[in-house]
Amino acid sequence: MNEYEINLKEVSLAYGNTEVVHRVSFGIKRGVFAGLVGPNGSGKSTIIKSLSRILEPVYGQISLRGQNIKNMKQKDLARLLAVVPQNAVVPSLFSAFEIVLMGRNPHKGFLSYEDEKDMSIVRDAMEKTDTWRFRDRRIHELSGGEIQSVVIARALTQDTDIIVLDEPTAALDVARQIEILNFLRGHCKERNKTIIAAIHDLNLAAHYCDRMILLKKGDVFMNDAPSKVITNENLSEVYGSGSYVYPHPLSGLPAVLPMVEGIFHSQEVIANLSDCAPSGLWLFWYLFRRALPRAIDQRLSAFIYAYFRAESP
């Protein structure tokens, strides 16, 4: 029997005659939170669309729990897999509660009504995603971030073992991003759910995902633990220069910072810095940082991390 909950075997995906994903293979085991990462246009959303059957592979096979999704009935697929699309189109005249309640549809017969159990599942999902407070408001009265949270609540209400999300935190502020990802990770680990999410933000992906599938121009460049995937070498190969990887001072996981050398090369910025109080200190810090080789810089970060770890209980 196939041990993967989600398995892509040599999957190619195309829009019209243009192939954008080329014979991609990867498997995700049950209870794993996997992140699809990569530059704009590398194929993350396209792969997410293929998992929900919006786009059929032109080559290869996608299986969920060993079944080829091509042969699954729509209702069976919807009981196994819930999707949170990017910019979900939701009917604007419905209330947030009604939208979330729609997540129960795959579990209902043609003529059956929602019962107490359905209502309690909806309430639970809305409370966990902090959307219960605006349950009676119409969708068109909500902000982009609030709609995003409602769509996530709808997916949870579907009560599936697999959840697929396309940029689930794109419209959320930083506190909500962390709240939603904490919740999704907890949901994955406590209830043994399998989650695959396209995530643009490498720092968030590195901290929440068990595995990261790094895409480059429609190919899998690497599929491994975040600490193996997020390295200066890999990012420079896939994204080009422009970022720098440090160990996060508290978690030790890789953290990506933008390279700001271009800005600091500017005479204007240096002049502005020297106007700042305490200007001498700024200039000293700037020269100190420029003069240090990167290797020493990394050691400094590792030292700070070790210090904080020793301080924490």
Counting contacts by CB under 6 A, is residue 40 touching ligand ADP? yes
Counting contacts by CB under 6 A, is residue 170 touching ligand ADP? no
Q: Measured from the CB atom, is 46 or 160 closer to ligand ADP?
A: 46
Q: Measured from the CB atom, is 126 or 163 closer to ligand ADP?
A: 163
In the complex, minimum distance from the CB of residue 40 to ligand ADP, in angstroms, rounded to a whole number: 4
Which of 6, 11, 34, 42 is the binder for ligand ADP (CB under 6 A)? 42
In the complex, minimum distance from the CB of residue 59 to ligand ADP, in angstroms, rounded to a whole number: 16
* Strand 81-84 to 162-166 pairing: parallel
In the complex, minimum distance from the CB of residue 284 to ligand ADP, in angstroms, rounded to a whole number: 42
Q: Measured from the CB atom, is 126 or 229 closer to ligand ADP?
A: 229
- 64 DSSP β-pair partners: 6, 67
Q: Measured from the CB atom, is 7 or 46 closer to ligand ADP?
A: 46
Which of 26, 33, 43, 99 is the binder for ligand ADP (CB under 6 A)? 43
Contacts 24+ apart (CB under 8 A), 127-131: 128/153, 128/156, 128/183, 129/153, 129/156, 129/180, 129/183, 130/176, 130/179, 131/96, 131/100
In the complex, minimum distance from the CB of residue 42 to ligand ADP, in angstroms, rounded to a whole number: 4
Residues 126-165 that bind ligand ADP (CB under 6 A): none
Size of interface with ligand ADP, in residues (CB under 6 A): 11
Which of 12, 20, 65, 170 is the binder for ligand ADP (CB under 6 A)? 20
Q: Which stretch binds ligand ADP (CB under 6 A): 4-12, 34-42, 271-279, 292-300?
A: 34-42
Residues 185-214 that bind ligand ADP (CB under 6 A): 198
In the complex, minimum distance from the CB of residue 170 to ligand ADP, in angstroms, rounded to a whole number: 11
In the complex, minimum distance from the CB of residue 176 to ligand ADP, in angstroms, rounded to a whole number: 21
Which of 5, 24, 28, 38 is the binder for ligand ADP (CB under 6 A)? 38
* CB distance 106 to 75 below 8 Å: yes
CB within 8 A of 89, min separation 6: which ones? none
In the complex, minimum distance from the CB of residue 3 to ligand ADP, in angstroms, rounded to a whole number: 27
Which of 4, 7, 35, 45 is the binder for ligand ADP (CB under 6 A)? 45
Residues that bind ligand ADP (CB under 6 A): 15, 20, 38, 40-46, 198
